């Protein structure tokens, strides 16, 4: 434990995660902006830049929640494709275990004018409800940390991708800058739960968040897990000194 918070036992994790996202779904996007000072937008843009969407691609965005990655993917693919992209549009299947998050996502899609190209599916990252070799690309943003068994989710990602498909994970990671890591820890375990209490009325949800970040495998360990799942050419990039990281790998 850290700063006196207990770690979340494995058996309780799935229920805890469900309750957290049920409770924050409506405030989720606002909280993201507040807690990160808007920086999550820059990280998501970095993920999309590295992935470089193309017209005609079929992405599965796992733990896709309220649709941030999906919207950006579609918008970028349409932009790079120009007029030609209209006859060969990109598609995104958003898959999340939480129906409340998906409900908010659908509403936002309508608000942003995404009337086609999106499918919303309730499903578990560890047991994706899709046949082998379905997708050109797989993204999971701030999701893998919440999955009970991340290795299972990596294995199933590999299965669901087509040969030649690309896996990308954006996740909170481990700060690699001395002193800054201490400051960040203090922020995570004091300021963050306080903000959660004030804005979402749920302190425990944000204590869970801090603890789940602490327990998540460091950059090199996650890269090793990806290789174990079968991915090749595995690389990662640190964002904001390692507060977050993007991992990339290929099913070859
Ligand atoms: N990707 C979105 C983003 O970047 O804003 C949402 C991230 S949110 C922090 C984490 C999401 O993971 C929640 O919507 C939650 O319901 C989902 N989730 C948790 N466990 C999951 C699982 N086993 N399978 C699929 N989704 C899961």
Give residue limits of the domains in the chain.
10-250
* Secondary structure element (H or E) that encloses residue 106, with its range: helix 99-111
3-state secondary structure of 233: strand
**Is the beta carbon of 143 within 6 A of some atom in ligand 1?**
yes
Neighbours of 248 (CB within 10 A): 19
97 CA distance to ligand 1 middle (Å): 7
Q: Which atom number of ligand 1 is nearest to the Cα of residue 14?
A: 20
84 CA distance to ligand 1 middle (Å): 33
Among 11-20, 63-72, 178-187, 205-214, the range scoring the smallest mean pLDDT is: 11-20
Q: Residue 116 gets which letter from DSSP?
A: S
Residue pair 124/103 in contact (Cβ under 8 Å)? The answer is no
CATH of domain 10-250: 3.40.50.150
**Is the beta carbon of 243 within 6 A of some atom in ligand 1?**
no
What confidence category does residue 206 fall into, taking pLDDT thresholds of 50, 70 and 90? Answer: confident
Cα–Cα distance between 142 and 144 in angstroms, integer? Answer: 6
Q: What is the pLDDT of residues 19-70, one digit of tens each?
A: 778 877 888 888 888 888 899 999 999 999 999 999 999 999 999 989 999 9
What confidence category does residue 13 fall into, taking pLDDT thresholds of 50, 70 and 90? Answer: confident
């Amino acid at each position: 434990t850290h700063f006196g918070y207990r770690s979340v036992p494995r058996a309780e994790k799935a229920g805890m995660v469900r309750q957290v996202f049920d409770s924050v779904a409506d405030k989720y996007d606002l909280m993201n902006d507040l807690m990160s000072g808007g920086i999550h937008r820059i990280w998501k843009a970095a993920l999309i830049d590295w992935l470089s969407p193309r017209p005609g691609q079929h992405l599965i965005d796992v733990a896709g929640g309220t649709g941030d990655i999906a919207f950006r993917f579609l918008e970028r693919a349409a932009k790079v494709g120009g007029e030609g992209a209209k006859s060969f549009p990109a598609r995104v299947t958003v898959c999340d275990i939480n129906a409340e998050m998906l409900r908010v996502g659908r509403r936002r899609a309508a608000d942003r004018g995404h009337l086609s190209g999106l499918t919303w599916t309730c499903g578990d990252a560890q047991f994706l409800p899709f046949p082998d070799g379905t997708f050109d690309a797989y993204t999971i943003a701030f999701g893998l940390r919440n999955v009970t068994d991340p290795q299972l989710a990596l294995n199933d990602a590999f299965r669901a991708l087509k040969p030649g498909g690309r896996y990308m994970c954006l996740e909170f990671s481990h700060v690699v800058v001395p002193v800054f890591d201490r400051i960040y820890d203090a922020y995570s375990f004091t300021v963050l739960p306080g903000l959660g209490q004030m804005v979402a009325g749920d302190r425990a949800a944000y204590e869970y968040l801090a603890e789940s970040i602490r327990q998540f495998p460091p950059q090199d360990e996650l890269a090793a897990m990806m290789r174990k799942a079968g991915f090749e050419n595995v690389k990662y990039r640190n964002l904001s000194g390692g507060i977050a990281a993007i991992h990339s790998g290929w099913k070859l």
